[in-house]
Structures are given as C-alpha cells and as structure tokens.
Structure 1
C-alpha cells in the first residue's frame, strides 16, 4: 500500500476536516483517522522505500528524539507522528523505557495506517559528550527577584521554578532536559551546572539483543580513539543482528578523516551491516534559525570532497532544520550523483548521492511539540491519536519537514 504518498498528497485537505467525535471514544476516533488518512487509497502512488534504499537514494530522514531526552509521552507521540510522516529511523536514548515508548508510538502509527516500520536506533557515548549531560540547580538558591531567563530559553520546557508543570518539583525536569546548555549561558548568578554521564556498555548490550532495536549510534568527541575502542569492545558481541551502525562525530579540522579511518579500522572486522557517519555540525541548534545549519552543511562539503574517507554513508545532523535541504542544493550535495565509485564493499553498497540523508532533532521536536502543547492545554489529552484534529496538524508539520528530503509536499 502506498500509504505514505496518500498522506503527502492530502494532508492539507485532511487538516481542514472537522471531526465530531467524543474525546473519550477512542474506537470512533481511530476509525475517523483511518478514514481520513486512507481517503485516496485507490489512487496510484509509489510505495515508500526501505530505509537502506533511502540512504542509497540520498533521501534518508532520521528523527532524533535525543540521546538524553527521556520524556516517555513525548517520545511516544513524536515517534507516532514521524512514522506516519515517513521517516526511515527514530533515534532515542539507550534506555529500555524510552525504547518501549518509541516502539509503542510506531505500533500505534502502523495500526492507524499499515506503512513500513522505521528502524529504531539507540545512542551511546564513548566519553564526555554534549549530548549526554543534564542541567541541574537548586531552586532554593535562586534569588527571589531573578527574571528566570533559564525558563524562557529552555527549548524543551525542562525548567520550572514554581513547579507549574503538573507534579514536577521546581527546578530541572530531568527527563525532559537533553543537555543543550543554553540555560548555563544565561543564568545571571551562575547557579546552573551540567552533569555528564556515559551510557553503560553492559546495559546497552542487553538492549541491542532486542528484536525491536535495529541500529546503534556511537557518539565520539573526536579527541582520541582509546575510549572508542574500549566501548566497542564492550558492545561488539551484541551487534550481530543490527541493520545499521552509525558513528556521530564533530568536525575537528584536518584530522577528521584520519580519525574516521582509525575508528573504521576498529569496527570493520565485527560489523556486517550498513554503516553511517553522522556529521554533527552545530549540536542541538536546529531550532534556533537559518544560520544554525551552515556548520552542518560546511562539514558535509568538506567530507564529500575527501578522497581518503572510509566507507559509509554520510548523514547531516547538528543544526539541521527547514533550511538544510536548500543549503545542500546550493552546494550541489543534495541527491547528486556520487563522484566516488569505490564505495562498494560488504558494509555499504554504491550510493547515488554524496549525502545519504539528514537527521532532524531539535527542530523536528519543536514544530510537532507546539501541536502537542496546544493539544494538552486545549483538551487535557496526552496521547495524540486521541485528538484527530491535533494529530493531523502534527502530521502536516512533520510532512513539511520530511517531505523536503523525500521530495513530496503537503499540497493537494
């Protein structure tokens, strides 16, 4: 069934449709959503491709829920919406409860519309990393007259000095904080600190044995490979059934490609799946604006032209948003025939694109998060499929983003 394209062609029209179902009648609501999303099921359209084919075609899209983001309700709802929008992979924290939430969202989406399942990825780190930290402070130490800039700047709504958010205590809501560090920079009294941590290799190995985890991503800071090798030694026996292994790294100048080759030499004997290099241009900044994506595109431009880089797909992250595809097109990187013909190996087949795809994190969460917040304030509901109007709003937002890479739009 070419369900994904039906959504694409008709999301705008669906969004204008008014439903009149009791909010507690979930069976009726689900039926209405199915009817709306399948309204054009008799029309011809191309079926969505498998994730690894998307990588080869250069239109792979990954949703980054956040390596430290552990709000189970949001992870579930985001996974549901972006599965319907057609992402190829959902990246989440290496935590059993978070993985369960992501898979629940995927399952609910596929119960609404029987489309192909995206891969589920978990993220771990080999050393201190911006993506694996949490802000913390004691709200009792905050001056009474503080203007609370930390609350205003937090993109995850993870700070509440008066405990307004339900049953949460004042301070940092740990499960919502994903370590962006913006609150540290604006605190006028230097009261906020960041606590870093590393995911445990043994616990991660157990998750990798699950049949609903398809991919692993290792975040490295690029300083050296000793800790990377140590982590890999703890995981290598658990990666046999994975479909994808990714390494996320920052740009470290002229030594970037050398570092990648060293890491690849550590990995190559143990993996028999696809491999990918996540180019983390400007971490956790995609929701800021147009300029945030420049570093990610510049990173991609440097790597795409490097002749001695190791095998593997290249995927952008860090600062990616609605302007990223436009920037890639300007540099002739988006879905362009590869100038490299030596990519064939047991790990990755030849690619039709210089860049395999794009991962969206903060920006993807922001545009759908606005709908989730509105739904909760207007209806009190927490599961987005219980409110068809909000579900369709969220799908439209997600389709606009994913469609920029997949080359479809929400115009009828």
Structure 2
C-alpha cells in the first residue's frame, strides 16, 4: 500500500487524492487554505466535480483519506505529489511562487528514497532547477514531473483511464514514478526522457487544444458571415471524416469562448518562453486573440438579432443559463461568461438574469454576478434565452418548456448547448428564433 501526500487540494489535487484513496492508498491531503481543509474535514466538498463529493465521503469514512495544513505530514509518505497553482503573471510568464513556497514547505521533512512528483503546469526546467535542486539539499529524493491532463466534468473517469506521462530527473526517478502510477491506477504510463520533455507535453497539449478551438471559432464566424444557410457543426462533422496518416481530422466545436485555468494561460506560457529564448512564436498569440474575442462576438450576434427585429435593447430581458466555464462543472475561474455578460451590458441590454445550479453563490459573488436560484424564474418572460454551458439540467430543457416560459418570439442563442436539427425545428415551430455560433 502506497502512502501519498498531495500538496495542494484544488480541483486537480482533490481529485487525485480522493481517487488514490479509493485505490487503497493512505493519503494526506495538505493545503494552506484552512477553510477548504476544514470543509473537507466536515465531509463538505467545495469543488463541484461530478462524483467528487461522494468519493470524499466514502474515502474519509475508510480512514485512508486525511486532511491537514501541517506540511510535516509529508515525512511519512512514499510519494509526494505537488499540485499547487501556477497563475499567469502580468508579463504573461508563469508565476511559480506557489511552487517555490510548496517546495520550501516540504523540504525540511523529506527523506532519502521518497518520490516527489510535480503535477503543476510549469515551464521546462522548473522541476529540475527549482524543485529538485532545493529538495536534494535535504535528502536523496527521486524527482519527476507528470503533466496533469484532466478535463473538468469527467476528471475522475479520465484519471483512471488516460495514459499518464512521466519524466524523471534520472532513470531511477522515472522507474519509481512509472511503478507508482501503474500499481495505483493501472493505466498506461508513457515515460519520456526528462522532466523538461514531460513539462513540454502539457504545454503542447494545451496549445493544440487552444489552436484547434480557435480554428473552430474562425470557421464558425465564416459560416455566420457567408450568405448561405450553413451549420458549422455539420461542416466540422464532414471535415472530421477525413483520415490523415494514422488519425482522422479532429476539429473541435466552437462556443461562446474558452475559459478555465489552463487554456487561458498555458498558450501565453509558451509565447513568453519563446520570447525569452529568441523564438518568435505566432500561434499562441493568435489562438488566444481569437478565443478571447468570442464573448464579445456572441454578445454582438445577440444584439444584431434584436436590432434586426426592431427591439429596444434596454427593454429586453435576457435569461443566461450558465456561469461556469465548462459543462457539468461549477468552476468559474476565468469563465468566458463574465466578459460576455459585460459585453451584453455594453451593447445596451437591460435586465440580465443568470442561473447556474453548479456554481456556488460565493464564487458568483466573486465575479459580481447575482445568481437566480430558479431556472423557471430565470426563463420567465425572457426575450432571449442564452445557453452558455450544457449542464445536464440545461440539456433536459425541452423546446416546449422553453417556449412555455419565454416571451413570444424570443431568441434562443446557443453558445454551447448544441441543439440538434430536430430540436431547432421544434423551437422554430413553437414561434421562437434560434441562433447558434456558426449556425
């Protein structure tokens, strides 16, 4: 049985800690956020990830999952996982102060033979020069980097199924890291030659995703602009049927924007890395510019519809469904919904009601957004119903229910719900207008 200390209990750290406990590991979850630690101790899960609250209660009851703000707990661990945040600094470089602080906090308590594995997203070289150099002054520890690649909304399943990449400081570190993941999760482990290679894997993954979404957004805007009845989802589905090499074309879907902690910052990490080392990289800035512009683009599409129908924007009521940045998640970090709300107000819309059953009130308050707790109250007499995520509750809304509550002739704007053709036809037959991103 592996003894594990997880340093940092945000979305990634808590998911890893709870799942490892469910696999039989003895886990100490450690964080300086005493309020979060106290919530976990009570059995409350402040992180809205499907299945996470249930996993917390189950594993806490077994005694294998403990919580603390005491970093000396790492002394009893076989493996220490560092999962603290790396926010974006003002110059678009990564702020690694949390990594430095976590390393300093655990350094006096490490001992020979332990494995310290960094899961936080960092530029190449940080695991070696910041973490390993500091810790090896105290003990002969194994050190490795393993990129976090979980998607919110499906993190528990993905942690137990996706291949895990590891890059050790030396062959022994890589071997221990590989054995740990294979024995605990039973997943495929891809061992790369160094921590720097593993660190680059995470940046490459997120740059590819951001670029792919940017391509989808440009295709959507082109479908909107052309004088034909085009549906970008139909175009993308057709394009994705082409096989190139060993894989098929895989264009992702457009939406009202990109949010969250990774995609909004990691391309800037890549951009700043290139600038510091003399490489003029064009793609990171391009993808960020395109994707960051989608909230304002969607607000303009809604405003243009209203003006074409001679509506006075200040008199209209909008029902916005979704504040989180991702479907079936309550995470509002860098959500694209907030700039979209700001853009709607800048366009001149009057009443804007927001409902999101996944988002905690205090998190919404942090964005200055007042949530309406009732979906029906949010929809009632709305001149525009704006879908900005596709939570299960929103997917279950039938066109008939929307038409029953919304104002006659209301616009249904589809930022991320992805109504199919039969649903769109039903909305229109019920007297509602429909507009999607590129549809």
**Relative contact order higher in (CA < 8 Å, ≥ 6 apart):** 1
Q: TM-score, normalised by structure 2?
A: 0.27
Q: TM-score, normalised by structure 1?
A: 0.28
Q: Larger radius of gyration, structure 1 or 2?
A: 2
